[in-house]
Structure 1
Amino acid sequence: MSEHVASRSPRAMAWARRRTAFARFAREFSRSRSGMVGLVFLVVIVTLAFLAPILAPAWMLDVTKVMDSPRFAPPSWEHPLGTDHQGRELWVRMLWGAQVSLLVGFAATAMSMIIGTIVGIAAGHFTGIPGALLMRLIDFFLVLPSLILAIVLSTVLSRGVWTIVIAIGLTSWAGTARVVRSQTLSVESRDYVERSRVLGAGHWHIIVKHLLPAVLPLVLANTTLTVGSAIISESTLAFLGLGDTTLQSWGAVLRNSMDVSAATSGYWWYVLVPGIAIVLVVLAFTLVGRAVETIVNPTLRSR
C-alpha cells in the first residue's frame, strides 16, 4: 500500500485530494434541505431556458403571427400565464427571457468574481504603496452606488446584452475583493507560506500555489450569492429601458407592463408573472449560496 502511494506522482495525489474534497462537499451539500431545494429549482429553470427554442419556437414571439390571439387574456387553460398587450403568451416570453436574464447573471458574476479575486489577492499579498493603492480602489467602488454607475455605463455604451454584462461586472466586484483580501491576509500569516517565502518562492508561486486555492471556496460561495444580485441589476436596467429592446428578458417584460399601466388597469398577471419569477430565482440562488457558505466557512458550519 505504501509503495503504491509512493509511486504515485504529486499531480495524481493532488487530483485525488481534490476528488475527495469535492465528494465531501457534495455529501455535505446534499444534507442541506434549503440548498437542495434551491439547486433543484435552478436546474429546472436552466433546463427550461435551454429548451426554449424547442418548447416555444421563435415564431410565437412574432407579433404578426399571433394577431388572432386575444390581448390581455387572463391566465386560463388556453393561456396558462395570460397574454401581453400584443397577444403573445407570457410563458413564451418568460422562457426566452430566462435565457437573457440567466446569461447576464452568470456572465456578469464571472467578470465580477475574476476582477474581485485578482484585486483582492493583490491587495492582500503586496505590501506598501501597491497594496495601499489597491485598497483605496476597493474602498472607492464600495462607497460608489453600483447601480448608478451601471446606469451611466449602459447609457454611454451602445445598448446590448454584453453592455449590461460589462456594466454590472465592472461595478459589483468590490465586495468580493474585500472578502478575498481578508482571507489572503489570513493565509499570508500561516507557517507554510512563510516557509515558501524563506525557501525563495516568488510572488507568482505563492499566489498560485497557496493563496488562490485558499480563497477559491469563499469565492465560490460569494459567486452563488452574486448571481442573484446580477439578475436583479439586469432586470432593473432592462426595466429602465437600458437593455436590448430586440431581446426578451424578465426586466423587459416588466417594462412593457409598466408602459401599458398593467398594474392599475387590472392586468395583474402581466406584473406578477415576471416579478415572481425574479424573486424565486434570486431566492434559489440565495439558498444555494448560503448552503455553500455554511460548508466552506468553518465558523458557520460549527454553528
Structure 2
Amino acid sequence: MTAGGIAWSRRRAALGRLGREFAASRSGLAGLIALGLIVLLALAAPLWIHADQLSVIKATGGVLSPPGGDYWLGTDHAGRSVLDLTVYGARVSLLVGIAAAVLSVGIGTVFGMLSGHFGRWVSAILMRVTDFFLVLPALVLAIALSTMLARGLGTIILAIGVTSWPSTARLVRAQTLTIEARPYIERARALGGGHRHVLLKHVLPAVLPLVLANTTLAVGSAIISESTLAFLGLGDPSKVSWGLMLKQALDTGAVTAGAWWYLLPPGVAIVLVVLSFTLCGRALEVVLNPNLRARS
C-alpha cells in the first residue's frame, strides 16, 4: 500500500472512531436528530406550503384566530397560518445562520492560521485587527452595516459574518502555534516544504476538527443575530423568518391581544434550533478534545 493509501486508511479509521464516539453522546445525538428533522421540514416546506398561503392578500383565515380546525397553531394578523409561517421561516433562518457561520469561521480560520504561522509583524498586524473587531460590540456593528447596505439576505449574512470571527481567529491561532511546534512540521520544512505546503498539508487538516466544532456552535449565535436584526426591522421584509414573525406580532398588537400562538411558535423554534446546534457542537468538542473527554 502506498503512503497516500496508508494515510487515507488512518484518516478513515479516525473518522469512524469519532463517529462512534459522537453517537455515544446522548445529548449530541439528540441534537443531531432534532436538527435533521428541522432541516427536513425546511427543505420539504415548498412541497406542501404554496406561495398563496404565505401571501397577505390571498390569506383566507381570520385575524389572530386561536389554534383549532384547519389552523393548528392559529393565524396571524393577516389570516395566514402560523404553522406554515413557522415551518417556512426555518428556511431563511437556517440559511442565514449557516452561511453567516461559515463566513465567520472562514475569516477567523484564515486570520488565525496566517498569524500563527508567520508570526512577527504579520502576527502583530493581524492580531491588532482581530482585537479591534473583538472590542467592538458585534451586534451594534452588524446593525450599522445592515443600515448602510441594501436590504437583503446577503447583507444580513455579510453583517453577521464580518463581525463575529475574532474569537475563532484566536482559537485557530493558538492551535496553529501548538501544531507548528511539533517535530513533523520541522521535518517538513527541512525537506523543502514551503509556507503553502505546511499550511495546507499539515496545519489546516490538524485545525479542521476545531473549526468544525466551532462552526457548529457559531450557527446558533448567527441564527440569534439574524432573528435580532429581523426583529429590529433590518431584515428582508419579503422573506418569512422567525425574527420577522416576532416583529410583526409586536407591531400588530398580538401581545396586547393575548395572541400567544403568534409569539410562541417562532420563539420556541429559535430556542430548539440553537439548542440543537449547541448540543452538537459541545458533543464534537468533547469528542475532539481529549482533555474535555477525560473530564466528562
Q: TM-score, normalised by structure 2?
A: 0.97
Letter in 2 for 1:208: L
The one of 239, 253, 262 aligned to 1:247: 239
Is the counterpart of residue 260 in structure 1 residue 272 in structure 2?
no
Letter in 1 for 2:59: V
Match of 1:43 in 2: 36
Is the counterpart of residue 93 in structure 1 residue 54 in structure 2?
no
Letter in 2 for 1:232: I
Match of 2:157 in 1: 165
Match of 2:52 in 1: 59
The within-5 A match list for 1:1-303 is 8-67=1-60, 69-303=61-295
Tell me, in whole angstroms, the C-alpha distance in 1 between the residues paired with 2:130 and 2:182.
25
Following TM superposition, by how much is the alpha carbon of 1:113 offset from its aligned partner in structure 2, in angstroms? Answer: 1.3
Structure 2 counterpart SS, 1:108: helix
Structure 1 counterpart SS, 2:32: helix
Letter in 2 for 1:52: A
Tell me, in whole angstroms, the C-alpha distance in 1 between the residues paired with 2:197 and 2:71.
60
Match of 1:3 in 2: none
Structure 2 counterpart SS, 1:51: helix
Following TM superposition, by how much is the alpha carbon of 1:268 offset from its aligned partner in structure 2, in angstroms? Answer: 1.1
Tell me, in whole angstroms, the C-alpha distance in 2 between the residues paired with 1:10 and 1:195.
16
Letter in 1 for 2:2: S
Letter in 1 for 2:21: E
Letter in 2 for 1:170: V
Letter in 1 for 2:45: A
Following TM superposition, by how much is the alpha carbon of 1:108 offset from its aligned partner in structure 2, in angstroms? Answer: 0.6
Following TM superposition, by how much is the alpha carbon of 1:142 offset from its aligned partner in structure 2, in angstroms? Answer: 1.2
Following TM superposition, by how much is the alpha carbon of 1:17 offset from its aligned partner in structure 2, in angstroms? Answer: 2.0
Following TM superposition, by how much is the alpha carbon of 1:25 offset from its aligned partner in structure 2, in angstroms? Answer: 1.1
Q: 1:111 to 1:57 in 2, by over 3 A?
A: same
Tell me, in whole angstroms, the C-alpha distance in 1 between the residues paired with 2:174 and 2:119.
14
Unaligned runs of 5+ in 2: none
Tell me, in whole angstroms, the C-alpha distance in 2 between the residues paired with 1:77 and 1:300.
50
Following TM superposition, by how much is the alpha carbon of 1:282 offset from its aligned partner in structure 2, in angstroms? Answer: 0.3
Runs of 4+ in 1 over 6 A off after TM superposition: none
Deviation per CA, 1:142-193: give whole Å up to 9, x if none: 1111111111111111000011001111111111111000001111111111
Letter in 2 for 1:43: G
Letter in 1 for 2:95: L
Deviation per CA, 1:103-154: give whole Å up to 9, x if none: 0011111111111111000111112111111111111111111111111111
Tell me, in whole angstroms, the C-alpha distance in 2 between the residues paired with 1:186 and 1:299.
15
Aligned length in residues: 295
Unaligned runs of 5+ in 1: 1-7
Following TM superposition, by how much is the alpha carbon of 1:12 offset from its aligned partner in structure 2, in angstroms? Answer: 2.5
Letter in 2 for 1:23: G
> What is the root-mean-square deviation of aligned Cα atoms in Å?
1.1
Following TM superposition, by how much is the alpha carbon of 1:93 offset from its aligned partner in structure 2, in angstroms? Answer: 0.8
Tell me, in whole angstroms, the C-alpha distance in 1 between the residues paired with 2:123 and 2:26.
41
Tell me, in whole angstroms, the C-alpha distance in 2 between the residues paired with 1:158 and 1:226.
24
